[in-house]
Amino acid sequence: MADSRSKALEFAKQNRGRFLDELKELVAIPSISADSAHKSDIKRASEWLEAKLKALGFENVKSMDTGGHPIVYGDWMKAGAKAPTMLVYGHYDVQPPDPLELWESKPFEAVKKGDYLVGRGTSDMKGQVIASLAAVESALTAGEVPVNIKWMIEGEEEMGSGSMADFIRANSKTFASDFALNPDAGMLAADQPTLTYGLRGLAYFEIHLTGPDKDLHSGYYGGTVRNPGNELARLISGMHDEHNRVTLPGFYDSVRNLDDEERAEFKRVPHASDSDYIRAAGVTELWGEEGYTAFERATARPTLEVNGILCGYTGEGPKTVLPSKAMAKVSCRLVADQSPKQVEQQMMAYVKEHCHPAVKCEVKMISDGDPAISERDSRPMKAMDKALEAIWGKKAIYRREGGTISAVAYMQKILGAECVNTGFGLPDDLIHSPNEHMHLPTWEKGVDALIHFIYNLGET
Amino acid sequence: MADSRSKALEFAKQNRGRFLDELKELVAIPSISADSAHKSDIKRASEWLEAKLKALGFENVKSMDTGGHPIVYGDWMKAGAKAPTMLVYGHYDVQPPDPLELWESKPFEAVKKGDYLVGRGTSDMKGQVIASLAAVESALTAGEVPVNIKWMIEGEEEMGSGSMADFIRANSKTFASDFALNPDAGMLAADQPTLTYGLRGLAYFEIHLTGPDKDLHSGYYGGTVRNPGNELARLISGMHDEHNRVTLPGFYDSVRNLDDEERAEFKRVPHASDSDYIRAAGVTELWGEEGYTAFERATARPTLEVNGILCGYTGEGPKTVLPSKAMAKVSCRLVADQSPKQVEQQMMAYVKEHCHPAVKCEVKMISDGDPAISERDSRPMKAMDKALEAIWGKKAIYRREGGTISAVAYMQKILGAECVNTGFGLPDDLIHSPNEHMHLPTWEKGVDALIHFIYNLGET
């Protein structure tokens, strides 16, 4: 297939201008998922993608109803039953452009400024979707393609992919694949190709305590009954031990340990030293589980944080109330092989053991997401690793990330498709902010890297 | 003076109808201190009292400017230099009548319903002010009076007596007295005369913690920096030890211990058993400092309570924020011989010792009040004790109260005048609520008891 690879790379080179025009077209559709006023733009964006997939020769192309915004599907299965099937993930929705007055150009009219294309979605992630389409088009045009390809391009990522789990579950045959490609994971620097093989999961709780059945006067009742505010403080305070480890029973039991190779690799990550964390967070010193660097803790270790507390009177001045109720939002970031359900049970067990029975306690898990981890030496990962090195002349860094990308976890958990997470967005692309932009030389390299990736998948 | 006493009691008996009319007149002035729309009513009420004091033969009668609402003063010093001087405290302001729709009669038109007079301020405390005036009028009319009398009737009690401390300090010579009478302290039941000899003080704090210098994403920073929410929880949680004692350093050092006599006396207080507290607070069991009953803890022991906590995101749904700031309102109720200043230093010391230096911590005392305690065997207390027994045929209960009455503490601390706290309001008078009322038979007994008190002061 060496010939096809060369042809494909040449095709991409010849068509860069057109690819960029296509990106501008897609950016021009203000497909803001969170704003119902843009529902017709969401439809236009999905239709634009349908048309594009059809033009590339994809079959069964459709905008599938998720109950929320549609997911664009299409497949090309002509590599044959013996070839692997790749599911390419993307999202066509974008964040709102506000605050508008901080934009130096119109957010939905992408303009080239030097090496950059400026506009909402250029980096996150219409640029990455177009790069993937461009690579696939180049390969399909060149001739032989060693992999079957399915697309799953959603319209709710910027809203939390709320419809996706049920949708994938209901359509698991349609999306059945051997592995997935997610080009939304960015890279650490323009000269540092990056593979993101681990993402943390989430178990987000609300804890509601009720002490006395009404607010009491602290002058008359102070010192006589359990104050749910004090009780909540005691509960939260006990969730970490003196080594800053989480005390929920069994919390670490299913945590996959970091191996030495991973830890050595993390040392290569730029701007991720403890002193970088101190500077970025605006603190004087760090905190966390003993025995790990900040980067390790933030990406590859499970953690527990208070996200919010509300109790009693919080307005101006003194009010001598002994409150009836106290509420905390507490969330855990999870790593492989934890599951939100397990952690929910651990939280229930902790609270049952530690909350005094005189205080009524209710725990609700209000959001959850599975952690995701991809084997670093799988065939697709090796194919991408080699592709990135071919273009950048440098080994990719294998990193884990602290956040949660729901789609990646769903593809892994529901479809059994481990995800190759990469991408060509850079840390300073101002995604979600005014003047979002994309670095064009990196984007062009990205298209070429994806072409190499496709052909590398055909090598044994 | 036995003759004068009888004459005075007879005068009171003959004039009960008029005293009641005077109370109705005073109730008809809606002197709501918290509502600036009623500023002219505040003035009318103070002028009504001025006129009354002048009519009774008081001298130097005036409405004194406090910067806030005026304090009505007047003195009658004809008992002579050798006789003691009594300062009678009262307040002519009332709570707003809201919610108006729950009143069964007009709040500012006092009406007699059976044994009760219904209207805003009938019990708290225009009724008590009129009872005091009636007793003094009866004694002055009857002839010999063994005590010099000064009045200090304020117009800001329902707003927290904010102007009073500075005002008393600036006018300490005018108000100089040997002891004070506060008829605003109520009684435990219509058949149970009551002397309140202790009131708790207050030291009310806001604690503000700042961790990172901005809110962080818990996915990217969770587990790397001290979360001020967790830190606040740890701080609050550590403020009590395993015996539910307050851990601020030196907190109990200046606490005057309860003696056996007091504890035996408290057992006589009706509706104050631990099971009464459980029922009233709506809890399944009590909590508090080991070794004391709930009543003792709530009235005669210092306590610490969380009044409010606010941190991070407290709206609907999950927000994965690692908050920059956390705030708690925490207040201590104090008993003799603690002082708010001392406790402020103890709180500062606690926080300095326990708050990690990586978290910025600011503690502000936003409200304070001294505790007050009166000797139970002083001459005025004995005089009141005897007076109450003469009328009710029953020994008064000596109780302490958990709340704070600023005026009592100021009179004690600034003027050195210990206060005889009694009164004829009942626990079910609905003060501060719609349909506030006063029990007329108790009120009439109260007038007689105050007459006895005045004459008892003349006995050695």
Cβ separation A402–B305 shorter than 8 A: no
pLDDT bucket at A405, cuts 50 / 70 / 90: confident
Summarised one tens digit per residue, pLDDT across range A428-458 is: 999 988 999 999 999 999 999 999 999 999 9
Q: Is the pLDDT of residue B279 over 70?
A: yes
Summarised one tens digit per residue, pLDDT across range A360-379 is: 999 999 999 999 999 999 99
Summarised one tens digit per residue, pLDDT across range B73-88 is: 999 999 999 999 999 9
Q: Does A233 touch chain B (CB under 8 A)?
A: yes
Summarised one tens digit per residue, pLDDT across range A210-247 is: 999 999 988 889 999 999 999 999 999 999 999 999 99
pLDDT mean over A400-408 = 89
- Cα–chain center distance at B329: 21
Nearest residue to B31 (alpha-carbon basis) of B73, B110, B93, B119:
B93
> A30 with A108: CB under 8 angstroms?
yes
- State how far residue A202 is from chain B, nearest Cα, in angstroms: 9
Q: Is the pLDDT of residue B458 over 70?
A: yes
Helical H segments across B205-293, by residue range: 218-221, 228-237, 260-266, 274-281
pLDDT bucket at B460, cuts 50 / 70 / 90: low
pLDDT mean over A92-107 = 93
The beta-carbon neighbor of B211 closest among A219, A283, A310 is: A283
Cβ separation B309–A313 shorter than 8 A: no
Cβ separation A367–B317 shorter than 8 A: yes
The helix or strand, by DSSP H or E, that contains position A294, with its residue range, turns out to be helix A294-300
Cβ separation B305–A234 shorter than 8 A: no
Cβ separation B298–A224 shorter than 8 A: yes
Q: What SS3 state is found at A285?
A: coil
Q: Does A242 touch chain B (CB under 8 A)?
A: no
Q: Would you tell me how many other CB atoms lie within 10 Å of the CB of residue A92?
A: 28
Spatial separation of the C-alpha atoms in residues B136 and B12, rounded to whole Å: 10
Report pLDDT for A1: 66
The mean pLDDT value of chain A amounts to: 95
Cβ separation B222–A329 shorter than 8 A: no
Report pLDDT for A460: 67
Spatial separation of the C-alpha atoms in residues A125 and A421, rounded to whole Å: 13
Ranges of beta strands (E only) in B158-298 are: 179-182, 194-199, 201-210, 216-217
Residues 166 through 225 of chain A touching chain B, CB cutoff 8 Å = 200, 202, 204, 211-214, 216-225
Separate counts of helices (H) and strands (E) for chain B: 15, 18
Chain A partners within 8 Å of B288 (Cβ): 223-225
Task: Say which residue the tokens 């009028």 belong to.
Answer: B137
- Go through chain A and tell me how many residues it has: 460
Q: What SS3 state is found at A74?
A: strand
CA-nearest residue to A331 within chain B is B320
Q: What SS3 state is found at B365?
A: strand
Summarised one tens digit per residue, pLDDT across range A2-22 is: 789 999 999 999 999 999 999
> A426 with A224: CB under 8 angstroms?
no
Cβ separation B286–A225 shorter than 8 A: yes
Interface test with A, best of B226, B305, B431 (most A CBs within 10 A): B305
Residue B240 is classified by DSSP as: B
The helix or strand, by DSSP H or E, that contains position B397, with its residue range, turns out to be strand B397-401
- State how far residue A71 is from chain B, nearest Cα, in angstroms: 24
Percentage, residues of chain A above pLDDT 90? 90
Q: Does A240 touch chain B (CB under 8 A)?
A: yes
Chain A partners within 8 Å of B234 (Cβ): 233, 236-237
Summarised one tens digit per residue, pLDDT across range B128-168 is: 999 999 999 999 999 889 999 999 999 999 888 888 999 99
> A12 with A134: CB under 8 angstroms?
yes
pLDDT bucket at A162, cuts 50 / 70 / 90: confident
The number of C-beta contacts closer than 8 angstroms across A and B is: 277
Interior angle at CA A159, CA A158 and CA A164, nearest 5: 100
Q: Does B285 touch chain A (CB under 8 A)?
A: yes
Q: Does A372 touch chain B (CB under 8 A)?
A: no
Q: Is the pLDDT of residue B89 over 90?
A: yes
Residues 305 through 324 of chain B touching chain A, CB cutoff 8 Å = 305-314, 317-323
Widest Cα–Cα separation across chain A: 87
Q: What SS3 state is found at A61?
A: strand
Q: Beginning with the edge strand found earlier in the chain, give each strand of the sheet holding A360-369 in spatial order.
A: A360-369, A201-210, A325-334, A303-312, B303-312, B325-334, B201-210, B360-369
Got the DSSP string for B302-349?
-EEEEEEEEEE--SSS---EE-SEEEEEEEEEE-TT--HHHHHHHHHH
pLDDT bucket at A168, cuts 50 / 70 / 90: very high
Chain B partners within 8 Å of A216 (Cβ): 281
Domains of chain B by range and CATH?
2-199+371-456 (3.40.630.10), 202-255+302-369 (3.30.70.360)
Summarised one tens digit per residue, pLDDT across range A344-361 is: 999 999 999 999 999 999
Task: Say which residue the tokens 């539910």 belong to.
Answer: B244
pLDDT bucket at B259, cuts 50 / 70 / 90: very high
CA-nearest residue to A367 within chain B is B318
Cβ separation A282–B320 shorter than 8 A: no
Spatial separation of the C-alpha atoms in residues B329 and B310, rounded to whole Å: 9
pLDDT mean over B35-59 = 97
Summarised one tens digit per residue, pLDDT across range B285-312 is: 999 999 999 999 999 999 999 999 999 9
pLDDT mean over A301-311 = 97
Cβ separation B223–A297 shorter than 8 A: yes
Chain A partners within 8 Å of B302 (Cβ): 223
Which tokens sit at A242?
A: 């003196």
Report pLDDT for A79: 97
Q: Does B126 touch chain A (CB under 8 A)?
A: no
Q: Does A104 touch chain B (CB under 8 A)?
A: no
Summarised one tens digit per residue, pLDDT across range A107-134 is: 999 999 999 999 999 999 999 999 999 9
Summarised one tens digit per residue, pLDDT across range B239-252 is: 999 999 999 999 99
Q: Is the pLDDT of residue A158 over 70?
A: yes
Cβ separation B313–A329 shorter than 8 A: yes
Q: Is the pLDDT of residue B1 over 80?
A: no
Q: What ipTM was reported for this prediction?
A: 0.87
Chain B partners within 8 Å of A287 (Cβ): 224-226, 356, 358
Report pLDDT for B27: 98
The mean pLDDT value of chain B amounts to: 95
Residues 15 through 74 of chain A touching chain B, CB cutoff 8 Å = none
> A149 with A136: CB under 8 angstroms?
yes
Summarised one tens digit per residue, pLDDT across range B49-67 is: 999 999 999 999 999 999 9
Q: Is the pLDDT of residue B319 over 90?
A: no
Summarised one tens digit per residue, pLDDT across range B180-208 is: 999 999 999 999 999 999 999 999 999 99
Summarised one tens digit per residue, pLDDT across range B378-387 is: 999 999 999 9
